[in-house]
Amino acid sequence: MTGRRPGAKKVVLVVIDALAPEALERAIEEGSAPVLARLMEEGHYADDCVSTFPSVTPVASAAIATGLGPEEHLIPSMNWYHRGEERYVEYGTSFGASRAHGLFRSLQDTVYNMNLSHLTQERRTVFEHLDDADLRTACTTYMIYRGRYRHEPSGDSPYWRLAEAAQFRHAVWGARELFYADLFDSQRTGCQSTLGMPGQRDQHAACVGAQLVEHGLFDFLLFSLPDNDRHSHRAGPDAQPASIADADRALERLMEPAGGPDAFLADHAVIVMSDHSQDTVREASNLSASLDGWRVMAPVDSDPEAAQVAVCPGSRSAQIYILDSSRREILARQVAEDLEHVRGVDVTARLEAGYGEVWTPRGDLRFRPGGELLDARGNTWEVEGDHAALDLFVSAGEVIAGDYPDPLRRLWSALACPRAGEVIISAQPGFEFTDWGGSDHVGGGSHGSLHKCDSLGVLLMHGLGAPARADGAQWSIEDVTPLVLDHFGIREG
């Protein structure tokens, strides 16, 4: 099938980074988010849409744009160890972390390699699906943008000399209309984001989006509003209503060229979603320092062959890679046992003999797919040990999740990702793992864990005619690409 299905509205997928349901509801109650209030009043709202694990932006962005978990989309975390290239990959956890790993290398990984090398080549993104169906795709600055159209670096940006100095000289493949942080822009808009600096990204998206609407340049637009995440990191999740109000104004600006919300919603379906939420951080824990009995590989290591493990903090999650391939299983067990005594560690998981082995302060369990227990999304599991370890309740052949949403599926996908570490960690509520730049968000907010405090977000749908999942199960961010494709009458394959 090619072209838009007759009668199908255009779709705008709005991703408000780290949008917390309770903060959205408070902003609406205070009257500071009128556009979002209308969408909620007239559409379908879920306040418990489940993120990936780790619930960090690159992993979640890949899940949103592909409909896949990390096991299949292959982006394991914010910071990870590339076994083939024997180096760390850092997607910008903080400026200090990027500097520690090499600023230009971090930028190259984030802008180029994440999409063109690290993201699976075996499955299509939502842009590729829609491009192949001859639908017009568009994307503002978003971590996952891969599509069928080639884009050269922008020569019109006032920052082009700086971009060239940072080695942004190569073309990318993206959505038909791609606007990425002044680096790539398929149309001359005059909109600027100062190379994607925090605090200017939402207004850049609004400026670009308004012109796309005015000139009718898309059937599907991924409208990324990331500044809420930055604000919440600094001021804490309780301060989100202020940045949500800014996001609402960006939505209002998007709708203005169509004649305002009434006219816009007559011709556009809108999905508003979080990629994850955030938890308030009270304390930081340095994993590299805690593993003092191990030789940890440094970002720039003078003797990398002597290193035993690579430690990859990802905000409220972390991954440990065993560098001795001949002893990985034994050493992974030893590392996992050592981590049990580290302050702030809540869940430690690893694969052994075909099972996911899980330790928590509440007990141990092991699990794998294919048993007799049915979860809320229709997956079957074999589970042995202390159900309290992951706050599971088992009754009449069903396994029901508590404080850890959809934990078995999310953990298994993380562990089975070919690029994941041998040991994966989730932090206790209130804790974060210090990154390689020595940064943390104590006093602010952070995310990444398996716990519901930063794993549940917003899913708000207007004009799709899809009030709930057909099976009645809890929504996941991985459901959004299939939802969009179904709206346009496209079958995955």
* pLDDT tens readout for residues 242-256: 999 999 999 999 999
pLDDT per residue as tens digits for the range 196-222: 566 678 999 999 999 999 999 999 999
pLDDT of residue 192: 79
Task: Reply yes or no on whether the pLDDT at 465 is more than 90.
Answer: no
Q: Do 414 and 456 belong together in one domain? A: no
Q: Do 304 and 315 belong together in one domain? A: yes
Q: Do 412 and 427 belong together in one domain? A: yes
Task: Read off the CATH number of the domain in which 227 is found.
Answer: 3.40.720.10
The residue that leads in pLDDT, 153 or 412, is 412
The type of residue at 68 is L
Q: Do 61 and 42 belong together in one domain? A: yes
pLDDT of residue 1: 45
Please, which pLDDT band fits residue 450 given cuts at 50, 70 and 90? very high
The answer to whether residue 242 sits within a structural domain is: yes
Task: Reply yes or no on whether the pLDDT at 20 is more than 90.
Answer: yes
Q: Do 381 and 253 belong together in one domain? A: no
> Where are the strands (E) in 231-360, listed by range?
268-273, 279-280, 283-285, 309-314, 317-322, 345-352, 355-360
| 54-58, 199-203, 248-252, 326-330: least confident range | 199-203
Q: Do 276 and 383 belong together in one domain? A: no
pLDDT of residue 182: 80
Q: In angstroms, rounded to a whole number, what is the distance separating the alpha carbons of residues 130 and 2? A: 9
The answer to whether residue 33 sits within a structural domain is: yes
Look up tokens 């009995």; give the residue: 293
Q: Do 130 and 173 belong together in one domain? A: yes
Q: 10 Å Cβ neighbour count for 462?
A: 20
DSSP characters for 112-156? IIIIIIIS-SSS--HHHHHHHTT--EEE-S-S----SEEEPPPSS
CA distance readout (Å), 479 to 17, 469, 474: 17, 9, 10
Task: Reply yes or no on whether the pLDDT at 159 is more than 60.
Answer: no
Q: Is-contact 33 245, C-beta < 8 A?
A: yes
Q: Which domain holds residue 399?
A: 283-440
pLDDT of residue 181: 85
Q: Do 123 and 216 belong together in one domain? A: yes
Q: Do 408 and 481 belong together in one domain? A: no
pLDDT of residue 155: 62
Q: Do 45 and 160 belong together in one domain? A: yes
DSSP characters for 383-421? EEE-GGGGTEEEETTEEEESSSSSHHHHHHHHHH-TTS-
The residue that leads in pLDDT, 155 or 160, is 155
Q: Do 288 and 275 belong together in one domain? A: no
CA distance readout (Å), 203 to 177, 180, 207, 265, 431: 18, 13, 6, 21, 32
The answer to whether residue 97 sits within a structural domain is: no
pLDDT per residue as tens digits for the range 98-135: 999 998 899 899 999 999 999 999 999 999 999 999 99
pLDDT of residue 6: 66
Q: 10 Å Cβ neighbour count for 390?
A: 25
- Count: domains in the chain: 2
The answer to whether residue 96 sits within a structural domain is: no
Q: Do 252 and 295 belong together in one domain? A: no
